[in-house]
């Protein structure tokens, strides 16, 4: 006899709705540049607000120039950043100099603003080992290419910081695709278990190359994945520099106060292709989607906000653009003048002690290079 239908033990709709409610998007500055959440407003001086705008404008120019340098064959690997300036730069701006950054391949701007000289960023793009040699006073690892790996490394770096009793944090960045990787879960879980001072950022730009985020996961938000690791999770409007700054600043405070890691999902968009290696975004997203996101542009809304406060104008912006162009010209020249990478450099930088087969090859190249 068939059992009588009972009321379901789990009300799945109720459960999903409750989760969605907990992870509502934080926004402070709307698309028109109006403050919509005064209570969450971060404590930034006028000079700091202008500095953040300066960095975003400068980085947009750097992106445009990097794309054309790549097309001229003067750069190698390049992952465009336009659209992601708020999520990248306002989060970095909430850090202190001693904090560690563990970036992904698209996160070169955060490294630059944390202290990586521009010419080294260009050498990184060219696959030169010097582009991966972080300056002594720069607490950062070079950009990770293996999707998600930086999450596990960040848990380790953050645990190291904790064991040394330092009041600093380790921050890492991945994309929405990265949040499907095993390393993502291992990293947030480990850091959560040890209450390590880590900030895990997911820049949800809606596509992992051509795969839309909806196909990556059944979860309604990426932020909610924090709950399974027992850590704080928050979703922010990643096109809003003030929301990004506020969420990262608060996550940093929590981390240095011994309250453990935070997972921050930033809703953003990359305007360009995934990389300059040849994907064609028109094959996986519509013009309407692109326009919809361009209307959320972080520079446009922040410019409007600052202009209304009398802190920004066209002249100011032109100055930043000209400065960026000049710096880029100088840096690319410095990268061009830097000694070419030798095969022996590559081998020396890979191994502390060479395996026998490489020892032989190393000697052969050493002899060739000395001619």
Ligand X SMILES: Cc1ncc(C[n+]2csc(CCOP(=O)(O)OP(=O)(O)O)c2C)c(N)n1
Give the footprint of ligand X on this chain (CB under 6 A). 106, 145-147, 174-178, 203, 205, 207-209, 274
**Minimum distance, C-beta of residue 270 to ligand X, in the bound complex (Å):** 6
Q: Are 50 and 74 in contact (CB under 8 A)?
A: no
| Matching residue, tokens 């692109």 | 290
DSSP letters, 8-55, are: -SS-HHHHHHHHHHHTPPB-SB-TTS-BS-GGG-----HHHHHHHHHH
**Minimum distance, C-beta of residue 241 to ligand X, in the bound complex (Å):** 18
Which is closer to ligand X, CB of 107 or CB of 250? Answer: 107
The answer to whether 114 is a known catalytic residue is no
Which is closer to ligand X, CB of 282 or CB of 370? Answer: 282
| 151: three-class secondary structure by DSSP | helix
> For the chain, how long is the longest CA-to-CA vector?
90
Q: Are 76 and 125 in contact (CB under 8 A)?
A: yes
SS (H, E, C) 233-293: EEEEECCCHHHHHHHHHHHHHHHHCCCCCEEEEEECCCCCCCCCCCCCHHHCCCHHHHHHH
Which is closer to ligand X, CB of 115 or CB of 273? Answer: 273
**Minimum distance, C-beta of residue 83 to ligand X, in the bound complex (Å):** 11
**Annotated active-site residue in 249, 270, 301, 303:** 270
**Annotated active-site residue in 206, 274, 301, 303:** 274
Q: Which of 53, 94, 85 shows the shortest CA–CA distance to 248?
A: 94
**Minimum distance, C-beta of residue 274 to ligand X, in the bound complex (Å):** 6
**Annotated active-site residue in 185, 271, 284, 362:** 284
**Minimum distance, C-beta of residue 330 to ligand X, in the bound complex (Å):** 29
The answer to whether 285 is a known catalytic residue is no
Which is closer to ligand X, CB of 20 or CB of 209? Answer: 209
Residue 35, class by beta-carbon neighbours within 10 Å (0-12 exposed, 13-18 middle, 19+ buried)?
middle
Q: Are 62 and 106 in contact (CB under 8 A)?
A: no
β-pair partners for 321: none
**Minimum distance, C-beta of residue 316 to ligand X, in the bound complex (Å):** 30
Dihedral (Cα; 54, 55, 56, 62), 10-degree rounding: 110
| 104: three-class secondary structure by DSSP | strand
Q: Are 209 and 273 in contact (CB under 8 A)?
A: no
Active site amino acids: 270, 274, 284
């Amino acid at each position: 006899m068939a059992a009588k239908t009972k009321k379901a033990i789990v009300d799945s709709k109720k459960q999903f709705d409750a989760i969605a409610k907990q992870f509502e998007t934080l926004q402070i500055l709307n698309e028109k540049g109006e403050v919509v959440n005064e209570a969450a407003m971060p404590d930034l001086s006028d000079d700091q607000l202008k500095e953040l705008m300066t960095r975003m404008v400068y980085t947009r120019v750097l992106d445009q120039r990097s794309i054309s340098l790549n097309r001229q064959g003067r750069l190698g690997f390049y992952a465009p950043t336009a659209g992601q300036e708020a999520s990248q730069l306002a989060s970095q701006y909430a850090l202190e100099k001693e904090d560690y950054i563990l970036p992904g391949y698209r996160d070169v701007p955060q490294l630059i603003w944390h202290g990586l000289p521009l010419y080294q960023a260009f050498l990184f793009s060219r696959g030169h080992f010097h582009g991966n040699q972080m300056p002594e006073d720069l607490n950062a690892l070079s950009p990770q290419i293996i999707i998600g790996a930086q999450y596990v490394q960040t848990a380790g770096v953050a645990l190291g910081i904790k064991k040394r009793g330092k009041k600093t944090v380790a921050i890492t960045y991945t994309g929405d695709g990265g949040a499907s990787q095993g390393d993502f879960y291992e990293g947030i879980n480990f850091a959560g278990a040890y209450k390590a001072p880590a900030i895990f950022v997911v820049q949800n730009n809606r596509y992992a190359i051509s795969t839309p985020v909806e196909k990556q996961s059944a979860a309604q938000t990426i932020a909610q994945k924090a709950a399974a690791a027992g850590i704080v999770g928050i979703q922010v409007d990643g096109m809003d520099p003030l929301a990004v700054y506020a969420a990262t600043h608060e996550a940093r405070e929590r981390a240095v106060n011994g309250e453990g890691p935070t997972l921050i999902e930033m809703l953003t968009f990359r305007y360009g292709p995934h990389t300059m290696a040849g994907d064609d975004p028109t094959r996986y997203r519509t013009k309407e989607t692109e326009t919809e996101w361009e209307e959320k542009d972080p520079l446009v809304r922040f410019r409007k906000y600052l202009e209304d406060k009398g802190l920004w104008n066209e002249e100011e912006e032109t100055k930043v653009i000209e400065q960026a162009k000049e710096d880029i010209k100088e840096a690319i020249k410095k990268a061009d003048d830097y000694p070419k990478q030798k095969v022996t450099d590559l081998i020396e930088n890979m191994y502390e002690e060479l395996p026998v087969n490489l020892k032989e090859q190393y000697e052969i190249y050493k002899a060739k290079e000395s001619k």
